[in-house]
Structure 1
Amino acid sequence: MRWWRQQRQRFATPSASSSTAPSILLEKCATPFPALIGNELSVTRPAVRIELCPEAYEVITSATADRLPVETGGLLLGYREDANVLVTHALVIDGEGASTHRYVRDDVRANALLAAFLTQRADDDPTGYVGEWHSHPVPSGPSQTDVAAMHATAQTSDGPIALLVYAPGGADPFFGLIVRRQRVGRVSSKKAAVVPPSS
């Protein structure tokens, strides 16, 4: 019972320095995740989500438009907040042999671009690898191959990672999935709401 009281007190009086993300990013990109209802902790968990900042959104949508009808993709960069992912940047990594129904990321190029991006960041910047994205030329969600690849990636990840599929032309062009390694090496995946930047 003591643990519950400590947690309740901790959440009831949040400190200004409790966030691990820079406040400038939170002000521009994130909507706060509700933790309290009134003065009580919420007993229902909010749906997991992937939030896109304007820069990441622009990179994904313009790279997709430039390469249609061929698939393209790359890396998602940002930070995690609980089970949610905030995407601040997206890198485009052309895949060799990409077609209208296939995208395979060039791992060597992806690692080089990721390393170059991270060396430009400040030491205390929490921005890092948070997932993958790719396009589908017709509205459809992640394929079984996409999900299996993310499960394999999650085996070596410390936190949740996102898969974002952008398929322009449909009523809801973004499909999101959050994949996470659980105890004993199991991996779980959960559909995620994708929140584009507000205009």
Structure 2
Amino acid sequence: MIHSDARQTITAAAGRAAPLEAGGLLLGWWDSDKVIVRSAVEVVDPAASGTSWIRRESFAQQALDRAIAALGHPWMGYVGDWHSHPAPCGASAQDLKSIRSASRAYSQPLLLIVHRCDDVLDVRAARRGRLQTVLEVTA
């Protein structure tokens, strides 16, 4: 489940950044094997281009710490990443490799959301290095 606040944050950040990519973190919690995305946080990549956004760890950790403190929900934590594609294409091979790799550090699934320029959210999940169900959601 992706809360409307998270969708709005992703869509607004993607719109501001176009024609460059934007990205950030997904915050929420796990309910059994479901990932609940309650909030999205933008993490600026000063070197973003029309085909690349890289999560800078120091910026990401600061953004995560601020967001968790501000949201104040006891279950809130990191559940994945999001970024935009200023073209009508979904997750790239590099995107899938990244989410698979990151998911190895967690026992629960991680999400990757790619916001396409046609307002489709390409949602991917990975658990322990393996891709799971693929969803597309209109923003």
TM-score when normalising by structure 1: 0.65
Contact 2:28 2:79 in 1 (8 A): yes
Q: Find the counterpart in structure 2 of residue 22 from structure 1.
A: none
Contact 1:74 1:94 in 2 (8 A): yes
Q: Find the counterpart in structure 2 of residue 125 from structure 1.
A: 74
Q: CA RMSD in A?
A: 1.8
Of 23, 26, 40, the match for 1:73: 23
Q: Distance in 1 between matches of 2:135 and 2:34?
A: 10
Does the alignment pair 1:192 with 2:131?
no
Runs of 4+ in 1 over 6 A off after TM superposition: none
How many residues are aligned here?
139
Q: Distance in 2 between matches of 1:87 and 1:196?
A: 15
**1:82 Cα offset (Å):** 2.6
Q: Find the counterpart in structure 2 of residue 108 from structure 1.
A: 58
Q: Find the counterpart in structure 2 of residue 59 from structure 1.
A: 9
TM-score when normalising by structure 2: 0.90
SS of equivalent to 1:179: strand
Does the alignment pair 1:143 with 2:92?
yes
**1:195 Cα offset (Å):** 4.8
SS of equivalent to 2:99: helix
SS of equivalent to 1:126: coil
Q: Which has more radius of gyration?
A: 1
Of 102, 105, 109, the match for 1:156: 105
More strand by share: 2
AA in 2 matched with 1:61: T
Q: Distance in 2 between matches of 1:127 and 1:96?
A: 27
Q: How does 1:16-27 map to 2 (within 5 A)?
A: none
Q: How does 1:79-94 map to 2 (within 5 A)?
A: 79-94=29-44
Contact 1:79 1:130 in 2 (8 A): yes
Q: Where does structure 1 lack aligned partners over 5 or more consecutive residues? A: 1-50, 182-186
Identity among equivalent pairs (%): 28
Residues 117-141 of structure 1 deviation map (CA, whole Å, 9 limit, x = unaligned): 223454x721111100000011111
Residues 24-75 of structure 1 deviation map (CA, whole Å, 9 limit, x = unaligned): xxxxxxxxxxxxxxxxxxxxxxxxxxx2212111100001011111000000
**1:177 Cα offset (Å):** 0.7
Q: Find the counterpart in structure 2 of residue 11 from structure 1.
A: none
